Amino acid sequence: MSGICERRVVVVTGAGRGLGRAHALAFAAEGARVVVNDLGVGLDGTPAADSPAGRIVHEIRAAGGEAVAHGGDIATSEGAASLVATALETYGRLDTLVNNAGFLRDRMLVNLGEDDWDAVVRVHLKGHFLTLKHSAAHWRAEAKAGRPPVARVVNTSSGAGLLGSVGQGNYSAAKAGIVALTLVAAAELARYGVQVNAIAPAARTRMTERTFAATMAAPENGFDTMAPGNVSPLVVWLGSAASEGVTGRVFEAEGGRITVMEGWRPGPTLDKAARWSAGEAGEAVRKLLTETTVPGVVYGA
């Protein structure tokens, strides 16, 4: 195989199903050697009867590509370190990290248990942090040894992390944290030749099948706008050397649409040059709000 990721070594977490599977297959189709990570758990994070990572590896190899499976828990330091080690021991290098692993435990806030909060934040946010940390340590060492990498990281946020989503306080908070982590990593790792971006995808997967149930009718004109594979071309490009100069960005991807998301930045302001009274502060806020753009609606509101 040949393509824009020819001979690059790409790690994809949560690659056994849905978006991760689509990403792994798309990278392989563009010539990448893929480390397919999947713990093989159910939608709620509990152990499943089988692990799909091996099946995806077989699928890639059957199409003429190169891939190896990794079944470690990337939300532990040991699992994240072994993921990086698998790439290095198998292929001798690591070029791209795609953080995709995650699951849901949806509850309204008053019903959301502490265990459900911890579990979702652990896999989504901590899982992103640990794989990024161990990959970045390798790339920093390479840069300091005079072998500057052309490294890429693609993190997975969500519209829930950008706007919020009713019944998903844990998931929304974790996905918002991933955006902030992306911005920090892009700034810190640029000196080592590492670019870090995030996507907020919308696609039909195990995690979103209830959310997008209304869109699951037969596709019109042969184009299934909610197919996971629609998101993967953007991820592959961001994970390739062709994306040189693009870092610290968040992209929304759905169907045939790509949007550059614009985050927090200063809007209208008033400066009294002295301390406000509570009443004055309230009046100032009311005035400022008349000059702002109305925020996007929280999903499910």
Per annotation, catalytic residue among 126, 135, 172, 175? 175
- Sequence-separated contacts (24+) of 231-235 with Cβ below 8 Å: 231/19, 231/22, 231/23, 231/199, 231/201, 231/202, 231/203, 232/19, 232/22, 232/23, 232/25, 232/26, 232/27, 233/26, 234/199, 234/258, 235/23, 235/26, 235/98, 235/154, 235/199
91 is catalytic: no
287 is catalytic: no
Per annotation, catalytic residue among 135, 157, 158, 232? 158
Q: Is there a contact between 29 and 65 (Cβ–Cβ < 8 Å)?
A: yes
175 is catalytic: yes
In whole angstroms, give the CA distance from residue 89 to residue 278.
62
Q: Is there a contact between 129 and 76 (Cβ–Cβ < 8 Å)?
A: no
Q: How far apart are the first and last CA of the chain?
A: 46
In whole angstroms, give the CA distance from residue 207 to residue 13.
15
Dihedral pair phi/psi, residue 17, rounded to 5° = -145, 170
Per annotation, catalytic residue among 82, 126, 165, 171? 171
Among residues 10, 9, 27, the alpha carbon closest in space to that of 231 is found at 27
Q: Where in the sequence numbering do the catalytic residues fall? A: 158, 171, 175
